[in-house]
Structure 1
Amino acid sequence: MELTEKTALELSGMLERREISAVELMQATLDRIAAVNPAVNAVVSLGAPDALLDAARAADDSPRKGWLHGIPIAVKDLANVAGFRTSFGSPAMPDTPAKSDDLMVARMRAAGAVFIGKTNTPEFGLGSHTFNPVHGTTRNPYSADRSAGGSSGGAAAALATRMLSVADGSDMMGSLRNPAGWNNVYGMRPSWGRVPGEPLGEMFLHPLATSGPMARNPRDLAALLEVQAGPDPRQPFGLPKENFLDAISAGIKGRRIGWLGDWGGAYEMEPGILDLSEAALRMFEELGAIVEPVAPPIEAAQIWDSWLGLRAFANAGRLDPLYQNPETRARLKPDAIWEIETGRALAATEIQRLSLIRSEWYRRAAALFDSYDALVLPSAQVWPFPADWERPHRINDTGMDTYHRWMEVVVPVSLIGLPCVNLPAGFGANGLPGGVQLFGRHGDDLGLLQLAQAYHEATDWPGNHPPKLS
């Protein structure tokens, strides 16, 4: 088996036992990137090979820092890595290397990761299709004429094609779930507060996005989450650090799973999406879990109303400095301008109304988890669409009224910061991959990882069905 086919934890063990060197692994990684990245455009801003091999050599010569010691990592191009440009996929950003690591990156570096470059993302992470005017379009490894999803599309495609063994991502509106589903890998949006962001600016009003891990199996997912997670004393609402990996193998017989389907018909789905999801749920039944349909606990229109305003409010605050500068404003894509101007127009009373809807949904979800260990929705409402599209404008006969409405199915999780794992669910009749969202009570990240591990042991979609690339 090629080194790049192995799991991250397998590689870590081989490095620790000196069965391979970090230099050998780096060379194998660079060879793999050279072979397959031109077809998918997932890894961007790749470092100079000689410099990367020197960094691997330094890892070989230094004491072991953690389980990531010597593992090549490319970071999503929304986070700062010292020495690499952070483009955000936008021509409005300076073409200069970052001077320091973001907190999550620093934690991975402290665990021994060797950074090799960045993974592609839409401009400012807006939209679930990874294309931008700086680095171009990331394509789906299972069909190069299709989207890899987003905004962690580069990370998901790099994992699927074995250019990376493990990866980071971030998720405001499905960005760790939609691309994971479309690339036949695992992506986890942790409970909000599990993985802190940056201790900068306003830290109380905008808890919609979070960083998290992506991998080809739940054990690697759990191991990376342990590195990323843990409270930061400079930030509020942090969750305590937990040991996920040691407890990930557990019996799931008798655990209760609620199936929300298309939310009572509120979410338009392309043909085959629900069938694929239900097939994944049957696997849980075979493993002894109890699966039941669940009626919509709140109107989907209320959730969308709250989300549309609060997301725009958050993005307006985040991107306002670029909007205020006429030179950078002219370089922002229309979706970013729309988000900023929508958010800036909201009155304080409207923000309060939207937050009250959000609060009510959290209370209703908490009541559901008194009866269920996890709930399930599809990870996307459509199959991977043509890569030359900007976005889907219709699902079946229903028009999409915003640039992101076609991803409405991910909003119930995002709005209230619940933990969620994308499970690879197999392939449709069209040969394209899809996934399901398995989500649970806030703070129960371990319970979801245990369900994911049991499912993976029974299916291993990523291992059994890799993309057919050279």
Structure 2
Amino acid sequence: MTVTVASSAREQVAALRAREISARELMDLHLARIEARNPELNAVVSLDVERARAGAAAADERLASGATVGPLHGLPFAFKDTHAVAGWRTTYGSPLFADHVPDTDDLIVERIRAAGVVPIGKTNVPEFAAGSHTFNRVFGTTVNPHDPTRSAGGSSGGAACALAAGMVPLAEGSDMGGSLRNPASFCGVVGLRPSWGRVPEWPSSNMWETTSTGGPMARTADDAALLLSVLAGPDPRAPHALGDPGETFAPPLRPVPLAGLRVALSADLGGAFTVDRSVAAVVEAAGDALAGAGAAVSGTAPDLTGADECFRTLRAWHFQARFGMQLAVHPQEFKASLAANIRAGEALTGADVAVAYQRRTTLAQRMREFFTEHDVLVLPVSQVPPFPADQEFPATVDGVPMASYLDWMRSAYLITVTGCPAVSVPFGRTPDGLPVGVQLVARHGADRALLEIAAAVERLARPAA
């Protein structure tokens, strides 16, 4: 097998194990792609070519020694720049941390490194991962690999762009309001927000904060499952982590038969948000394709009343607790939209936060009941296709004004507060050729089943791709 940067991660791992390619050669392929595309796209930051090549050489030596190697051994990898990597510049997209070099790895980094990857650098993010468009004052803007005048999404925008452009075979990110799903849709890759508790987080300023989670990005659902097998599993430092071992996700996916699959489909969650017509058309096309494959498709949606208020309250509360003191000392070092979001948390009362958690409990119960009658929910990932990269966020959606950098992402963050797993799967394109993903949602804990449905949906999408 001839390995290229377009080969799947599973194919690259297999070729390395079979000695069909060395880690050095694989690294050179990816570094050449980074050299060719990154100057324009600005996806990979803090690149260290010398360390990357030294790491690849060490990976070859370890494999040649006969030592046990991890499931991702020898793959080039770039970590999201909001995740601390020991000894590697980690800026969080903020001028306050422009020269920051952590002493320890975040847990998600620790697990990926233990799986045998060869670090090459970081992937670009918005400031403190706030917002679904990737730009900051440290590194600038990441643009879309399919149209560099457009946004790559965010906050895992650098990760999705690098992945789609062939600079890395896998990527990791995090998702609060859509930060794995939105850039996956914009860049035409797969992004999974796992079930709450599936991917534990450490360190954390609040171990009971449950709106944000790490997760995998890949070019296929099968590769996403491979990376999830490394990320998932319990850890004593994260008491809310689900107990299923990561190895659950390691075997290759078997796409589920679509005949008889109970699909709920809605382009706007029953009027919960406005959606661009080109995005709605892709969701409707997915419904038609599923019905044509024998699925039982119904135009219905769960009742997510209260989800908007729940998400916004918990986000503002979390941001104020995490960044409030820094904002007070360095008010000029925060972008205006993030500063406003932090200050919104200052006015919250204990009763406000309690009501948000009560709403979240109600939403989880509604989703549990909803998924007794449906196997999967299909809806838009983002309410718009990739917008111009010189805008912070789209000013309107289908003619409706968007007042803030959050408004246009309701299609993602309303799902966040349910705790359910959700995956963005590439399915179509706008009339001018921009990628559009569909969002698939399943019951809490059903991450592997969801990825198997995603693999089946990928097969439906390929004839039209």
Please give the TM-score of this superposition, normalised by the length of structure 1: 0.94
Taking the TM superposition and a 5 Å limit, the aligned residue runs for 1:213-362 are 213-239=216-242, 240-242=244-246, 243-246=248-251, 248-252=253-257, 253-299=259-305, 302-324=306-328, 326=329, 328-362=330-364
Label 1:142 to 1:247 Cα distance change in 2 as closer, same or farther (>3 A): closer
Distance 2:227 2:219 in 1: 12
Identity rate, percent: 43
SS of the residue corresponding to residue 5 of structure 1 reads coil
Taking the TM superposition and a 5 Å limit, the aligned residue runs for 1:22-421 are 22-47=23-48, 49-62=49-62, 63-204=67-208, 206-239=209-242, 240-242=244-246, 243-246=248-251, 248-252=253-257, 253-299=259-305, 302-324=306-328, 326=329, 328-421=330-423
The answer to whether the 8 A contact 1:208-1:416 is kept is no
Distance 1:19 1:155 in 2: 27
Distance 2:10 2:459 in 1: 16
Distance 2:280 2:204 in 1: 41
How far off its partner does 1:94 sit?
4.6
Distance 1:398 1:447 in 2: 36
Distance 1:110 1:224 in 2: 12
CA offsets per residue over residues 312-345 of structure 1, 9 Å max, x none? Answer: 1111122234224x2x333111122112211121
How far off its partner does 1:64 sit?
4.2
Distance 1:51 1:457 in 2: 38
Distance 2:97 2:111 in 1: 25
How far off its partner does 1:214 sit?
0.3
The answer to whether the 8 A contact 1:186-1:422 is kept is yes
More displaced stretch, 137-146 vs 49-58: 49-58
Report how many residues are paired. Answer: 457
The answer to whether the 8 A contact 1:423-1:436 is kept is yes
Counterpart residue identity of residue 254, structure 2: S
Counterpart residue identity of residue 147, structure 1: S
Q: Please, which runs of 5 or more residues in structure 2 have no aligned partner? A: none
The answer to whether the 8 A contact 1:189-1:419 is kept is yes
SS of the residue corresponding to residue 357 of structure 1 reads helix
SS of the residue corresponding to residue 38 of structure 2 reads helix
Distance 1:178 1:18 in 2: 37
Matched, 1:433 2:438: no
More displaced stretch, 251-260 vs 101-110: 251-260
Distance 1:56 1:10 in 2: 17
Distance 2:112 2:455 in 1: 23
Label 1:456 to 1:226 Cα distance change in 2 as closer, same or farther (>3 A): same
The answer to whether the 8 A contact 1:219-1:245 is kept is no
The answer to whether the 8 A contact 2:145-2:161 is kept is yes
How far off its partner does 1:2 sit?
5.5
More displaced stretch, 232-241 vs 104-113: 232-241
Distance 1:117 1:188 in 2: 22
Q: Please, which runs of 5 or more residues in structure 1 have no aligned partner? A: 466-470
Label 1:402 to 1:234 Cα distance change in 2 as closer, same or farther (>3 A): same
Distance 2:311 2:256 in 1: 36
Counterpart residue identity of residue 360, structure 2: R
How far off its partner does 1:83 sit?
2.0
CA offsets per residue over residues 96-137 of structure 1, 9 Å max, x none? Answer: 322221111111111101110001111011110011111111
CA offsets per residue over residues 271-329 of structure 1, 9 Å max, x none? Answer: 21111111122232333322111145233xx22111111111111122234224x2x33
The answer to whether the 8 A contact 2:124-2:157 is kept is yes
Matched, 1:21 2:22: yes
